[in-house]
Copies of this chain bind each other. A is one copy, B any other.
């Protein structure tokens, strides 16, 4: 096991009915809140009206940032920062999925900074302070509610980059499965896939003597796979809860401890793809993740055989065969959930120029561990 720091101070408030605690929890951190709202059906469903009522009843003055889209844009971040600075807002509350929460995180660091917020994403500067963040997670997927990660798309430059600042851990996050009931089937499937990939990236990277960390990661993947019945039973709050808690555990740091490496290759490639083609993150991962794993499997088949045994019960085969069977089983799951598993299905052109552009973008991503564009081209060629 390699040395590590584990630190995650987010208070998770989990369970049906916990949305009601939003006001009281947010009031611990200030009197004036920016409410970051995701685009989509939540407004129509009355979720924002309820959030505003809860915050007001707790004595908070609320200023809203409307319409934060999937793959949240730098322009939304800048707009939120301006609102915070002009109106001296004290706490940022996100209600939505990973996009709203990530937007809130970027706003929170930008609001207390004099410079350009994009500098944090290009790696020019690190953030040491931020406004306090509260989140109400309405979608089980990115785990943004319990992570320090933040991914923003610079739509002008077609770049989708990540930051990882400790100050970006939400002070609290409410995960109320009741709010997940109306998530449509496709987005739920994207969320299942996203959660698996978080536990299934670093699992194959770094030190191999990490039995406790491995078992948590395997627990995430197994729990998410078991929860896939939610696709046919969208109102089943128990399945929603199981998916949501596994998604949060999958990227809260526990699945990385002791590996001594952080290398989210599938994410790097997916970010480059979705920066250009604005695909749903989970759908992009359903295509890229199995291809990335197939590439990695060439280098350490034994590790993939271990994975195949633990997750799919595949035993008694030569390592590489077992490993590839495990990856195929995972890809079959993604497909069975109605997710695309090829670039074609994702409507991403498969021509060399596009591949070159994506590969070049991966290499300049300051967060990327990929040092050779041939790796990206190899992985993209496997996305079929």
Contact = CB atoms under 8 A, between A and B. Distances in A.
A18 interface: yes
Contacts of A14: 1, 3-6, 257-258
A169 to B, nearest CB: 9
Given A212-B245, A246-B212, A12 B7 contact: yes
Interface stretch (A218-226, A262-270, A343-351): A218-226
A241 interface: yes
Interface string A196-234: 000000000000010111011011101100100000000
Contacts of A13: 5
Interface residues of A, number: 39
A169 B3 CA distance: 21
B238 A258 contact: no
Given A212-B246, A258-B245, A18 B6 contact: no
A212 B2 contact: no
B12 A6 contact: yes
A252 to B, nearest CB: 10
A182 interface: no
Nearest to A246: B212
A56 interface: no
Interface string A16-55: 1110000000000000000000000000000000000000
A220 B212 contact: yes
Given A219-B215, A241-B258, A245-B212, A11 B5 contact: yes
Interface of A: 1-18, 209, 211-213, 215-216, 218-220, 222-223, 226, 238, 241-242, 245-246, 249, 254, 257-258
13 contacts: A1-B241, A4-B15, A5-B13, A209-B241, A209-B242, A211-B219, A211-B226, A211-B242, A212-B220, A215-B223, A216-B216, A216-B219, A216-B249
